[in-house]
Amino acid sequence: MISITKISDKTGLKSAMTHVSLMLCLLTGLLFASCENDTISPGFTQDTTHPAHRFNHSAEVSLRQISLTYGAVGTIRPLTESVIESRVSSQVMGVFVSPGDRVVKDQPLVELDDRQVTAQVNQAREEKILAENRLNQAQKGVEEAAASLEQARAAFERSQLLFEKHIIPSQKLEVDKAGFLTARARLEQVKEAVTAARTDIRRAEQVVAEAQISLEYTKILAPETGIVVQRLVDPGDQAIPGRALLKIQTSGFLQLEAHVREGVIQHIVRDKEYDVNIQTVDKTVPAVIREITPYADPDTRTFWSRPACRKIRTSIPACSDD
């Protein structure tokens, strides 16, 4: 420690300054002496204590293909799907299947109320019977009219001969002539009645056939073997033509409609097989790209909301329970 006291005269001040200078020189010498053994030479040095300098390491480099995974929102649909609709307007009386049920061809699916159609069939059959009765009566009338016409013709011809011989007056000739013309007109009339009755019979037969077909339409059968994927009607609902009642998958393949943005679509190749992971059922199945819709929405860049992505349709096997 250096202690500096107050000096009143010049001689004492000079002596004190000299004393301080000697002390500073002594401290500087001690400092250099302590650093004498830590001299650092110019240049670079290596740390031989690091593991990288004590061991030689080698690594093998190989070229391999890395699969890229792209996640997209899509919808799985049957590759071939039958939409079951009603051909007649009637109330649904029964539905015999549910989604997931396997059906075979001609298996009953839906039953409709057939009371109105049955009444139409019965009425058409009655009209046919009435037309047949009219035909029978008209045919009998033709026979009678033909016989009356022959009698009237014979009478008129006889009257003509007698009138030429001046045996009968002209009034008698006119009466027989009028009878002949009336009989001939009657025959033509009953022949027209026969034609009309036959037309009514054909019309009634056609109505019966149509009503019979409508009656068959009240029993809706499976068109092909498949699986029911959607049920859209219940007993009590009104079935009308054009309204779907059921949807049936009629093949063992499913169709995946995914939506890919434009930045990825260039890596998708048509007719090439890809592995598709369906997270809903946690299954990975092979899929072949069958169709790529060649358009994109320039505004939203997404397909579902008028987008700039493209719809890819693939065919994948139906997922089994195995």
pLDDT digits (tens, 9 = 90+) for 257-316: 777 777 777 777 778 887 888 787 778 878 877 777 766 656 545 433 233 334 444 444
Which of the four pLDDT bands, split at 50, 70 and 90, describes residue 104?
very high
CA-to-CA distance for 24 and 321, rounded, in angstroms?
A: 95
Whether pLDDT at 204 is above 80: yes
Percent of the chain with pLDDT over 90: 15
Q: What is the pLDDT of residues 214-261, one digit of tens each?
A: 888 999 999 988 889 889 999 999 999 999 999 998 866 777 777 777
Which strands make up the sheet holding 273-278, listed edge to edge? 74-78, 253-261, 309-317, 283-292, 273-278
pLDDT greater than 70 at residue 317: no
- Nearest by Cα to 211 from 131, 130, 116, 132: 116
As a whole number, mean pLDDT of residues 42-48 equals 54
Supply 141's token pair: 């009338």
Average pLDDT estimate for 123-149: 85
- Whether the per-residue pLDDT at 205 is higher than 90: the answer is no
Q: State if pTM tops 0.75.
A: no
- Domains of the chain (ranges; CATH) run 74-112+226-317 (2.40.50.100), 115-217 (1.10.287.620)
